[in-house]
Amino acid sequence: MSNKMKSHSGSKKRFRFTATGKAKRKFSHKNHILTKKNADRVRRLRGMTVVSDADQVRIEHLLPYGRP
Percent of residues, the chain, with pLDDT higher than 70: 97
Mean of the per-residue pLDDT values for the chain? 95
Contact between 21 and 53 under an 8 Å Cβ cutoff? The reply is: no
Concatenated DSSP letters of 19-67? TTS-EEEEPSS-SS--TTS-HHHHHHT-SEEEPPHHHHHHHHHH-TTT-
pLDDT higher than 70, residue 68:
no
Could you read off the pLDDT of 3-38 as tens digits, one per residue?
999 999 999 999 999 999 999 999 999 999 999 999
pTM: 0.84
